[in-house]
Amino acid sequence: MEVEQLRDYLMRGAVLVVQVTPFDRNGNIDFEALRFNTEVLIEKRHIGPLVLIPAGSTGEHYTLSDDEWRKVVKTVVDAANGKVPVIAGAHRAGTKWTIEHARYAEDIGADGVMTVLPYYHVPMEEGLYRHYKLIADSIGIGLLIYNNPDVSKIYIKPHLMRHLVQAIPNLVGVKENTPYVWTFYEQVKAVEGRIPIIQGRGEAMYVPTVVLGAKGFVSGYANFMPEFCLELLKAGEALDVQRLRSLLEKLYVLEAFISEMNNKYGPSTTILPPPYTQGCMVYAVIKAAMNILGYKGGHVRLPLIDIRDEDVKRLEKILIEHMELKPIE
C-alpha cells in the first residue's frame, strides 16, 4: 500500500491491532501460533477496517533480539500478503538503530513503521525533530509516530507535532497516548486534518475522544475480540451514543478485572504517578483471554508474569458470560 493510500485508509478510521508475540513456557517464540493468529485476524477484515502492528508494546518488543524481531515482522507481513495493512513496530532509543529496523520492514514489504519516542536519555526538541525527520527521510513507506510519554519520559507537544506534519511527507498518522482529553483535542487541531490522530490508549479512551476527532484506535483487545472492537469503531463513527455506552458497560467489567490483577500482582515498582504509568498485567490477561477463546496467546516473557489458574477461570467467566464472546472454531 502506497503512503497516500495508507494515510487515507487510517483517516477513514480503523482498529489497529497491536499483536501479541506468543511465547511457549520456555520463553521461545511460537511462530506457527503467530501465523495462526494473524490469519484469523485477516479473516475478520470483511467486518471492518483492520491494521496489523507486530512488535509493538503488546508484542513485548523490548524482549526480542534483533533476529527474533525480524522473524516476527516477516511472519506477519508474509501471512497478511497485502490483504491487510501491516505497520511494523520499529522501536529503538537510537536513531541509527531505528532506521535499520525501519529499512528492513520496508524491504520485506511492510506498509509502514510505528516508531515510539526515543527513550532512556531525554532529547531536546531539536533532537526529537531530527530523529523523526531522519527516520522518515530514510524510508519510502509510511511513518506512524507513537507519542507515548508513559514509556519515554518525553512528549511531542502540539506545536512540535505541527512542525513534524509540515516537514515529513510520508507521515501517515499519530498514535496519541496522552491521558488528557483536552491535550488530545489540541493535537487534532494542531495537524489541521493533514494526518489522522489515532487514539492510542484503546477502546475506553476512544469513546470520549471520537467526538474530538479520533480516527479509530489502537487495540490489544482486538487480539481476542476483533468483532467487539470493530463494532465499537462503527458505533463511534456513527456517534451512536447509546450503543457506545452499552459496549462500554460490557468492557468495564474486563477493565475492572485488569485493574484488580494489577493490584493483586503489584504494586508496580514505578516512581511515576498515574495516569502515566499503570501495571502491565494487561498483557498477561490478553494472552490468557486468547488461550480461552481458541487463539494462541501463549505466555508472556520475563520480566512480565502470567496470571494464575484461579484468575484464568474468573477471566473465562467474564469473557463468556458477561461479554458474551464465543470461542473461535
The whole-angstrom distance between residue 141's C-alpha and the CA centroid of its chain comes to 19
**Farthest-apart Cα atoms in the chain, separation:** 52
Residue 52 forms beta bridges with which residues? 17, 86
What fold characterizes domain 3-239?
A: TIM Barrel (3.20.20)
**What burial class does residue 157 get, using C-beta atoms within 10 Å of its C-beta: 0-12 exposed, 13-18 middle, 19+ buried?**
middle
The CA–CA distances, whole Å, from 75 to 31, 87, 92, 219, 289 equal 7, 13, 20, 20, 22
With 0.85 as the threshold, say if the pTM is over it: yes
Q: How many residues does the chain have?
A: 329
In the sheet that holds 87-89, the strands lie side by side as: 50-53, 15-18, 217-219, 197-199, 171-176, 142-147, 112-116, 87-89
Task: Give the helix/strand (H/E) hosting 18.
Answer: strand 15-18
DSSP state of 174: E
**Per-domain residue ranges for the chain?**
3-239
CA torsion angle 19 322 304 262 (round to 10): 130
The secondary structure of residue 195, as a DSSP letter, is S
Q: Which helix (H) or strand (E) holds 36?
A: helix 31-43
Cα(289)–Cα(119) distance, rounded to whole angstroms? 30
Query: What is the rounded distance in angstroms from the CA atom of residue 203 to the CA atom of residue 280?
Result: 17
Q: How far apart are CA 303 and CA 326, in angstroms?
A: 31
pLDDT tens sequence for the chain (329 residues): 999 999 999 999 999 999 999 999 999 999 999 999 999 999 999 999 999 999 999 999 999 999 999 999 999 999 999 999 999 999 888 999 999 999 999 999 999 999 999 988 889 999 999 999 999 999 999 999 999 998 888 999 999 999 999 999 999 999 999 999 999 999 999 999 999 999 999 999 999 999 999 999 999 999 999 999 999 999 999 999 999 999 999 999 999 999 999 999 986 666 666 666 667 899 999 999 999 999 999 999 999 999 999 999 999 999 999 999 999 97
Would you please indicate which residues are annotated as catalytic (active-site) residues? Answer: 146, 175
